[in-house]
Amino acid sequence: MAITTRIATHESKAVTLLFIGVALTYLLLFLGLPLFAVFYQAFSKGWDLYWVALQEPDAWSAIKLTFIAAGIAVPCNLVFGIAAAWAIAKFEFKGKSLLITLIDLPFAVSPVVSGLVYVLLFGAQGWFGEWLQAHDIKLLFAVPGIVLATIFVTFPFIARELIPLMQAQGKEEEEAAVSLGASGWQTFWRVTLPNIKWGLMYGVILCNARAMGEFGAVSVVSGHIRGMTNTMPLHVEILYNEYNFVAAFAVASLLALLAVVTLAVKSLVEWQAKRSGEPLHGA
């Protein structure tokens, strides 16, 4: 009996090894090898060419623009995420589930379409195109358009992390603070924020990774002006299409490094949250 029970709740050694083998082969082929290949290609012609590629003025301006776009988009979506989660998790009102669905909307939209909508608004033939031209304001094929497209594609990241977390935590602690005389801001800074800090960090990390790496949406609104409106992913594309593979992979390796750091910090946040016993995700 003991033997049959053991067989029925665990697989045999051979099956276990087979499953592990299949899983690891699959992950190695699709994840490990590509990640290794980025760095291998970047350094394939030696360190010197790698550094030369990264010191190009166009590469530098692409790096700067990427940081500017993410530096604006992430804080904007952070403020929005906190406001949306506060309204949704701490209050009861009609149309709440519709609001949650609408917040998720950008995830259902193709990146290319996300860029397209801003072309329709601000392009020469767009709704505000003539007005913008008359006032000599350039949004499209310029930095503001890139920032807007980045905000759009990363819109739900922080909100969808915070909403379920704050819903699961309820509002008793905040109500206690307010009834003891704390102001709204005091309550938020001293009660709510410490409770959601891990979830918040988690959302910010993922939001930042996507903001810095976005390609499709930014590609549509950027206009691809070298040294002006190229972000790092767009610069990678241009270099690759010019058959300048070493330079393309050199810039790509910076983005791959960003991805590795993102995964490491994300794992660290998960580990810290688990260790301190504070929830990271909502129910």
Partner 1 sequence: MAQLAASSKRVTTRFRAHSVLPGFNLALGFTLLYLSLIVLVPLSALFFKTATLGWGGFFDVLTNDRVLSSLRVTFLASLAAAVINAFFGLIVAWVLVRYTFPGKRIVDALVDLPFALPTAVAGITLATLYAPHGWIGQYFAAQGIKVAYTPLGIVVALTFIGLPFVVRTVQPVLEDVEAGVEEAAASLGAGRWDVFRRVIFPAIFPALLTGFSLAFARAIGEYGSVIFIAGNMPYISEISPLLIVAKLEQYDYAGATAIAVIMLLISFALLLGVNALQWWTSRRGVR
Residues 84 to 113 in contact with partner 1, rule: CB under 8 A: 84, 86-87, 90-94, 99, 102-103, 105-106, 108-113
Q: Which of residues 160-189 bind partner 1 (CB under 8 A)?
A: 171, 174-175, 178-179, 183-184, 187-188
Nearer to partner 1, 7 or 168 (CB): 7
Residue 115 Cβ vs partner 1, minimum distance, rounded to whole Å? 9
Paired tokens of 97: 């589930």
Nearer to partner 1, 110 or 276 (CB): 110
Q: How far is the CB of 15 from partner 1 (least distance, A)?
A: 8
- Rounded Cα distance between 138 and 5, Å, is 71
Using the rule CB under 8 A, is 219 a contact of partner 1? yes
- Indicate which single residue of 50, 152, 198, 202 sits in contact with partner 1 (rule: CB under 8 A): 152
**Binds partner 1 by CB under 8 A, chosen from 167, 244, 262, 272:** 262
User: What is the footprint of partner 1 within residues 121-150 (CB under 8 A)?
Assistant: 121, 123, 125-127, 148
| Nearest-approach distance from CB 145 to partner 1, in angstroms | 12
- The Cα 147–Cα 159 span in angstroms is 19
Position 234 contacts partner 1 (CB under 8 A)? yes
Residue 248: which residues within 8 A CB-CB, separation 6 or more? 236, 239, 240
281, amino acid identity:
H
The three-point CA angle 33-37-42 to 5° equals 165
Find the binder of partner 1 among 37, 49, 143, 228 (CB under 8 A): 37
Count CA within 13 A, CB hemisphere, residue 145: 29
Contact region for partner 1 (CB under 8 A) — 55-63, 78-86, 133-141, 193-201?
78-86
Find the part of the chain contacting partner 1 (CB under 8 A) among 51-59, 80-88, 132-140, 272-280. 80-88
Count of positions on this chain that bind partner 1 (CB under 8 A): 101
Site string for partner 1, 15-34 (x = CB under 8 A): -x--xx-xxx-xx-xxxxxx
Residue 141 and residue 222 in contact, taking contact as beta carbons nearer than 8 Å: yes
For position 228 contacting partner 1 by CB under 8 A, the verdict is: no
Contacts of 98 (CB under 8 A, 6+ apart): none
**Quick check: 70 binds partner 1 (CB under 8 A)?**
no
Round to whole Å and give the CA distance between 247 and 41. 9
E strand or H helix that includes residue 40: helix 33-42
Which one, 7 or 225, has the nearer CB to partner 1? 7
Question: In terms of CB distance, is 50 or 152 closer to partner 1?
Answer: 152
Q: What single-letter amino acid sits at 31? A: L
Query: Are the C-beta atoms of 118 and 148 separated by less than 8 Å?
Result: yes
What backbone phi and psi angles, to 5 degrees, belong to 228?
-120, -60
Question: Using an 8 Å Cβ cutoff, are 231 and 65 in contact?
Answer: yes
Amino acid identity of residue 177, one-letter, is A
Q: Which is nearer to partner 1, 48 or 125 (CB)?
A: 125
What are 27's two structure tokens?
Answer: 């992950």
